[in-house]
Structure 1
Amino acid sequence: MPTSWNRLRNDDTIRSHAINAENPTGARGSAGAASSNLGPGRKGSAWYELPAGSTVTLAEISGNGVIRHIWITVTDKTPAGPFVLRDLVLRAYWDGAEHPQVEVPLGDFFCNGFAARALVTSEPIVVAPTGGMNSYFPMPFRTSARIEVTSDHGDDIGHLFFQIDYTTGDDFDDWPGYFHAQWRRSNGTTSLGEDHVIVDGIEGTGTYVGTYVALASLQRYWWGEGEVKFYIDGDSDLPSLCSTGLEDYAGGAWAFQDALRADPEPQPIPFSAPYFGYPFASAKDETKASEFWTPMLPMHAVYRWHLPDPIFFQENLRVTLQQIGTWEHGLFERADDISTTAYWYQTTLSAPFPALPSATERTPR
């Protein structure tokens, strides 16, 4: 599929731009004009402020083009709490749509779930030390693009650093359609035997390109036997595609452990690769919501990018994740705290997403 890293054609219709606090409009020949104590044009406007409860527009672009790269970083905690990365929401609107086609908590979009930092080194998403979050998903548009960050956090964010690199003059038909991303959570709320819904309600023609899963284990024993299922173009009881387990779907095996043994206790090995990874594993709450009580809640995160092996659909798509574990007596049904982000393209704008849960309902608890 066409992607930003292999669309390097240079012709007289395509122009490069960048939007950041030094050039809010992305106009050519207009970057870095603000003054600082060093003088005119010397790093005078490096960030935006994001007051509590407000929305800041990072980019508003007219015409046709493609967003090629997004870089953003913020603090991960304030005196109001440690959940900044879940409290901020990234939204994107293409071609004047009234509803967003991207609506994901900021950290989860960049594979940093649980409002906790994790290093990620993959093809479309990179999170570098310390908290430099990058997306290389190409995001084409025909007439306009708007990208926003909304704060549901209880304190002001004093420094929001970002840059959006894009081109104008691109032919929309060279690309796989409009980029979409949607977040959902099942916080132990499903019945036993009920699958977590990663995404549904996708209608039309498109290409599914990735999944991020952040799972907090609410029950004992191994949590990763659930299969990811893709119901394509009218599949009903059974899907067309089905993985053999969550760690298998994410390219790993045998519980991501250093060895198959009971004693000493095996250790998980986080890793990050171009198209799949297990970037986060923790037996305690790294956000330290309380200095008096740090709950010992195992947390795990995986990602899988379907870029060399995209999942094509012509009419509709539904993606689910079984909640199944295993122990010495065999498989068993579970109900864990699962948050997922689905990434896909479709040739038309999506229908409105289900309402995003409130900040309280998104809090990792």
Structure 2
Amino acid sequence: MKQPALPAALWALLAGNFVIGTGVMVVPGTLNELSSSFQIGAATAGQLITAAAVVMCVGAPLLAAVVAGWDRRVLLACTMLWYALGHLVSTLMPTFGALLPVRMLTVIAPAIFTAQAAACAGLLVPPEQRGRAVTFVFLGWSMASVLGLPLGAMIGGHLGWRAAFATIALLSLMSAGWIWLKLPSGIRPAALSRDAWARVFKSPLLMGVVCVTALQGSGQFVLFSYFAPVLKERLGADATQLGLIWAWFGACGVVGNMLVSRYVDRLGASRMVLLTTALIALSLLLWPLGVSLAWLAVLLTPWGLGCFATNSAQQARLVSLSPALAPGSVALNSSGIYIGQAIGAGAGGWLLANGAIGWMNWVGFATVLAAIALSASVDRAQRRAPAISA
């Protein structure tokens, strides 16, 4: 039976997530250009990633409470306008010290948009279509990894990082207009209660899953944050080659997400988390064997398949553990992703600054193994005490 068409407003939200994701990932894609422009090391430039991740980690749950009563049409359109302004002002910054606080203010937009777009999407369709609607809107992030990240890297590599940031500003303006035209007014999702947050924090199983997410992110971003300078130093990769590597990685991410969506109910969310995390660990283990860009692309395939898919599996796992607490646990899981990015980028920057590039994949590998061990432990605890009170 043919599924009914989704509302046009969901396309606007998908496009918004695409722009948000592209803007978040523009720094890793232009790290070489940022370093050259400000005459600083890649490790120092990488602190833009760490600082932004901290803001998004802390901001996501706090800002969810602040904007709870806002009309979502006004909120999401204004969020994209803020994103546009932040990227435009960034292009005018003369020094790294000036750019850093502007970047931190700019990423308030991702801290708001993605979670609120998901909540909004669920209210635009009948209950039986909500899962499909939320998944559809989140495709924007996958598209950002396939198209947005390599596009930003290529623009930055050939025209400079300011041109890449200006492109994000233009796309953000277009997205704000699309959202304003297509999203109906009067949408105000219910705010998360203090009681719901308290129950999430008091649940060892839910908090264990969130910690797995943080470890996964930390392990990946030790190396992922610095792909550009590492590949330039190791293999002499230019901007076009880096863009192709990013595109391949993102394409694998889309395939991985599709496979998880298809098989997660059959295999179970916890098993899917273990499988996708193991794929990431495999690429980190084999990383030293990448003696050419072509061979490296092959070695990155498991990582790409698992990178984005493991977050989807983690969200499905949290929902299955306690559907009633899912709004709180999934929001906190987003913070886990961002704090993992901050820790991983910080650790990777330290290794890069101290000439320890050869250790980056091993530190990431050990951290991802820790995530696998903790995930298995949470799974065993769930089998002993499967019920989580609502």
* TM superposition score category, shorter chain reference: under 0.3
Which has the larger share of helix?
2
State TM-score, norm by structure 1: 0.27
For the pair shown, the structure with the greater C-alpha radius of gyration is: 1
Which has the larger share of strand?
1
Greater RCO, 1 or 2 (C-alpha within 8 Å, sep 6+): 2
